Structure 1
Amino acid sequence: MAVVHAPRPLTGAVLLLFVSAAWGSAFPLMKDLIHRLPVEDLLAERYLIAALTLWLIRPRSLRGLSRGTWFNGVLLGVMFGVGQTAQALALSDLPSSVSGFAVGCNVIITPVMALFLFKVKVPVRVWAGVILALAGMTMFTLLKGVEDHHISLVALGGTLTAAALYSGHTILLARMTRSRSHQYNPYSVTVVQLGTIGVLTGFMALPGGISTPGSLGDWVILAHLSVVSCALGFLARSFGQAHVPAVPSAVLMSSQPLWVAAIAVVFFHEPLGWSLFVGGGLMAAAMLLAVPSKGGASPPSSEVPLSGPPPEANRRLLELTRRRLADLRDKRDDQVQCADALPLPVVARSACADVVDCPWKEPKSVKEPTFDRMMDRATRIVRSKKQDGCCHVKCLCALMEERSPAMSRFRTP
């Protein structure tokens, strides 16, 4: 099973830009196809075909998954599926420009949600990218003009709710990719969530019956929407977010309006406008600011995930202990002066016959050794290396062989 390991921010950025382009290419095609196919039917068929395609390519992708993976995959699918349904239902009561801007607000909702829910600290330059992305979004939507259309507050609220669900989807996926409680398999997670979205939207479409495309051209459009935009797009996102944290991911994927405008100019011969150049420049600057450096690709500790890892204080203590023990181990013998050693008890060789009698062994009543006490013991053992009559070897073995969970955390590799 393909498991993502070390973060590669540039690779992740390229994959997320592909996601943005794939989803951007779907907009003009869906806008054309919904005139001949109900939107509920289109969504259900699109996601079910995408899930089935990925499953047929790798039929074993759903075997052996943990319950946590199933739960998170279904939760991701429910969040995105409800968002898609709410956005689609509200579209009839909103101008497309207003709907596009409201959905694009997830670029600002994502960092705010991550900050308040999980205390994720966002770098200043990424905040700058968020602001530039929102400005570029405004150029591509609201500043192009709002059609003479009644704006329903209920529809607007539904679309903003969809944007919040998309933000939650991005944050949950980012946290899931970094969970140490199980291995993250992007392919399997993609199949699970696509299948969940397909089933959810299918239930929405059932009351009126499910219609299928009536011409070969419409089937080709549906194939592109299913395979390229959904299957490959979601798969690229599942891999890409393993390398890029949630907030930069939202900025990179917010470039959809830029791709929509570019496709409209190239394939539908729409005229170039000043909004394309200004908005495109703002989007490009936002993406450059959002791409994390290689050293900063890992998320802050607060974004590291749902379960499994020890507390941050224990990790820091473990790292400090390892460094200190490594320093003591690597000191040259001529730098170890017995005169500088701590007062040592006089121990006869016969006392070392039984390791239980080691003079530095921790009392049985002490269950949780403190850092200072452990360092004191280790320092005295190391410094007594050349002293005659010292049983430091057996004492050190006794120290390292203790089976208590607390001591096992402090062992050097």
Structure 2
Amino acid sequence: MSNSDLSNSESTDVGSERFPASRLATLLLVSVTAVWGSTFFLIRDLVAHVPSADFLTVRFAIAAVVMAVVFRRQTLALTRRQVLIGVALGVLYGLAQLLQTIGLEHTAASVSGFVTGTYVVLTPVLGAVLLRDRINRVTWAAVLLATAGLAVLSLRGLSVGYGEAVTLASAALYALHIVGLGRYSTAESATGLATVQAFVIAAVTLVAAVPGGITLPATGGQWTALLYMALVAGAVALWAQTWAQSHLPATRAAIVMTMEPVFATFFAVLFGGESLTARMVVGGSMVLAAMYVVEVLGRRPARDGASAAEDRPAELLHHDV
């Protein structure tokens, strides 16, 4: 069954009603962005004691080992082609993580958040160039609205330098990862693909960490934060994103994932001692509006068939992955 077949026809039982799998995928992806957003203030404190590359290596190594144990059968069931796809996706994600971290060392966190979020624009562009995706007008409107919301939420001036350029490169890699997941992930292979990706991400970040030696957390609090990011924001989130994208077009998934900085702001206000500002409210509202546009207006009954056809590359409509 192709990704589009899964996206358009599969449904899940919730209580006594039939719940569309694509809607469940959206809710799951929103939950993932909430988890990612909750890690920002934890990472900020942890990398003050543990170098970024070391932190990423230990985080994804723990995630990979746990996933390999829990999902052993599903991982061994992958075909050679699926393993290679998982390796390629893991390399993209691992490099994106490293570049984003390097960029964050040379630019303000708010600017880094905005530039990283430009994957919401790069995803449909790369999908159109590489896979001949056809993106409808409603989705493009949501992309522009989400980008504007990120700018209001994050930017307080932007000077383009080394940090911004490196971060933009990481955004392009994240976009490629999103496009790749949208094209090649299926509900059946999601668990195995996520496990392979975790191992590859750990290997990629290990290359950057080894020259200076691996520094481990020193306190119980640091280990608690790291384990949360490894198991919940790592293993569970990586599986959830891979499964969700087997049911969603790549651009729609990218728009949903722009909720990450909104949740990061929410948790920073709730737990990080930051004050709520008008910029946060306006920017967050614009991102939420973008989600509404793509998830509700873009799924109006009269346009469901047209929208699905426009959001998927033509060859996927009849091609089994």
| CA distance in 2 between partners of 1:164 and 1:70 (Å) | 23
Q: Does 1:32 align with 2:36?
A: no
Where 2:105 maps in the other structure, the secondary structure is helix
Q: Does 1:167 align with 2:175?
A: yes
Q: Does 1:177 align with 2:185?
A: yes
| 1:229 aligned residue (228, 233, 243) | 233
Q: Kindly state the Cα deviation for residue 59 of structure 1 after the two structures are TM-superposed.
A: 2.4
Match of 2:104? 91
| CA distance in 2 between partners of 1:163 and 1:303 (Å) | 26
Q: Kindly state the Cα deviation for residue 113 of structure 1 after the two structures are TM-superposed.
A: 1.1
Contact 2:92–2:173 (Cα < 8 Å) also in 1 = yes
Q: Does 1:11 align with 2:15?
A: no
Contact 1:44–1:201 (Cα < 8 Å) also in 2 = yes
| CA distance in 1 between partners of 2:315 and 2:146 (Å) | 22
Contact 1:55–1:61 (Cα < 8 Å) also in 2 = no
Tell me the amino acid that sits aligned with residue 89 of structure 2.
L
Cα separation, partners in 2 of 1:306 and 1:206, compared to 1, 3 Å: farther
| 1:279 aligned residue (233, 258, 283) | 283
Contact 1:120–1:303 (Cα < 8 Å) also in 2 = no
Q: Does 1:158 align with 2:166?
A: yes
Q: Kindly state the Cα deviation for residue 152 of structure 1 after the two structures are TM-superposed.
A: 6.6
| CA distance in 1 between partners of 2:278 and 2:162 (Å) | 32
Match of 1:46? 59
Tell me the amino acid that sits aligned with residue 293 of structure 2.
L
Q: Which structure 2 residues correspond to residues 97-116 of structure 1 after superposition, within 5 A?
A: 97-116=110-129
TM-score (norm 1): 0.68
Contact 1:46–1:226 (Cα < 8 Å) also in 2 = yes
Q: Kindly state the Cα deviation for residue 265 of structure 1 after the two structures are TM-superposed.
A: 1.4
Q: Which range is displaced more, 251-260 or 95-104?
A: 95-104
| 1:257 aligned residue (256, 261, 264) | 261
Where 1:187 maps in the other structure, the secondary structure is helix
- 1:72-94 CA deviation, whole Å, 9 max, x = no partner? 00000000111111111122111
Match of 2:206? 202
Higher normalized helix content (fraction of residues): 2
Identical aligned residues as a percent: 32
Q: Rg: which structure is higher?
A: 1
Q: Kindly state the Cα deviation for residue 303 of structure 1 after the two structures are TM-superposed.
A: 6.1
| 1:69 aligned residue (82, 86, 101) | 82
Match of 2:316? 304
Number of residue equivalences: 298
Match of 2:142? 129
| CA distance in 1 between partners of 2:52 and 2:243 (Å) | 28
| CA distance in 1 between partners of 2:199 and 2:100 (Å) | 19
| 2:292 aligned residue (288, 291, 314) | 288
Q: Kindly state the Cα deviation for residue 129 of structure 1 after the two structures are TM-superposed.
A: 0.8
Gaps of 5+ in 1: 310-413
CA-based RMSD: 2.2
Where 1:304 maps in the other structure, the secondary structure is helix
Match of 2:13? none
Contact 2:63–2:234 (Cα < 8 Å) also in 1 = yes
| CA distance in 1 between partners of 2:318 and 2:280 (Å) | 41
Q: Kindly state the Cα deviation for residue 64 of structure 1 after the two structures are TM-superposed.
A: 3.0
| CA distance in 2 between partners of 1:170 and 1:102 (Å) | 16
Contact 1:176–1:305 (Cα < 8 Å) also in 2 = no
